């Protein structure tokens, strides 16, 4: 896959070496282009980049939507026990971050176990904080 950078003197060609998340590593064999020059890719290469970027972009959109739901529920308080729904939405956000952003679903079972134990411990801490908050009246 090639990437072109247009400079004032000549056309400098580089090659995409790897794509990790939102980071695209490009190798320029002759010289590096100026930092502000844009990288130009072909239409076929855009499809490849989108295939790598689709999951992080959709995850970010889902997290923003869930955040919007929580903010709207907190601002309007449409029913008495709205905090239960807010906690469920926050739990869905945690699960989304755990499975997609942290990529725990692709890890070995031992890593999954320790990630689950860690989030269980965080849940205990949140529950203790909630009990303290509710018991103060």
SS (H, E, C) 34-78: CCCCCEECCHHHHHHHHHHHHHHHHHHHHHHHHHHHHHHHHHHCC
Query: 46 in a domain, yes or no?
Result: no
Q: Which H or E run includes 129?
A: helix 109-135
Are residues 111 and 64 located together in one domain of the fold?
A: yes
Total number of domains constituting the chain: 2
Are residues 66 and 34 located together in one domain of the fold?
A: no
Per-residue pLDDT of 76-107, as tens digits, reads: 989 988 989 998 999 999 889 888 888 888 88
- Cα distance between residue 103 and residue 113, in whole Å: 13
Range of the domain at 93: 53-135
Are residues 92 and 121 located together in one domain of the fold?
A: yes
Mean pLDDT for 73-77 is 91
């Amino acid at each position: 896959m090639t990437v072109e950078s247009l400079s004032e003197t000549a056309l400098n060609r580089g090659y995409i070496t790897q794509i990790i998340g939102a980071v695209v590593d490009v190798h320029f064999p002759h010289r590096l282009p100026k930092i502000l020059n844009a990288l130009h890719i072909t239409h076929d290469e855009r499809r490849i980049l989108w295939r790598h970027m689709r999951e992080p972009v959709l995850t970010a959109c889902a997290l923003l939507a869930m955040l919007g739901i929580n903010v709207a529920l907190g601002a309007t308080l449409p029913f008495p026990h709205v905090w239960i729904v807010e906690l469920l939405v926050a739990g869905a956000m945690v699960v989304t971050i755990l499975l997609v952003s942290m990529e725990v679903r692709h890890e070995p079972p031992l890593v999954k176990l320790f990630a689950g134990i860690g989030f269980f411990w965080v849940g205990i801490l949140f529950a203790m904080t909630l009990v303290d908050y509710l018991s103060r009246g």
